[in-house]
Amino acid sequence: MSALTTSEGRPSINRSTGFSFVEVLIALLIIIISVVTLMNFLMTALRVEDSASAISEDLLVKSGKLEEGEGNSKQATVTIGDIDIPGVIHEIGYGKTKQLIEFKRSGQ
């Protein structure tokens, strides 16, 4: 006999088959939380990737400029024992707040 018919031959609904409301609710909750978290991960990843690419690109451009002596410069003297070496510290910013520095002696 089919599970969907009574002893009298009438069709009946088995209430214990399928998923309970609580089950569906919990499953939905888990899936929603997972998806939202994944989306957050995805957004963060995209942001980090974008930022890292921008920094790398900027770094390459700015390091080339620094090699050519561009950027802010300020006078500096390196003292080694009794010898003073006058020169300039070149600073060039990259990314949002970072900077590269290099010392170059004067009078080349």
Q: Which of 23, 61, 70, 93 binds another protein (CB under 8 A)?
A: 23
In this complex, which beta carbon is closest to another protein, that of residue 4 or of residue 30? Answer: 30
DSSP tally for the chain: helices H, then strands E: 1, 3
Size of the site for another protein (CB under 8 A): 48
| Bridge partners (DSSP) listed for residue 52 | none
Q: Tell me which of 5, 6, 12, 34 binds another protein, using CB under 8 A.
A: 34
- Structural contact between residues 91 and 101, judged by C-beta atoms closer than 8 angstroms: yes
Query: Could you say which of 4, 5, 12, 45 contacts another protein (CB under 8 A)?
Result: 45
Tell how far CA 8 is from the center of its chain. 66
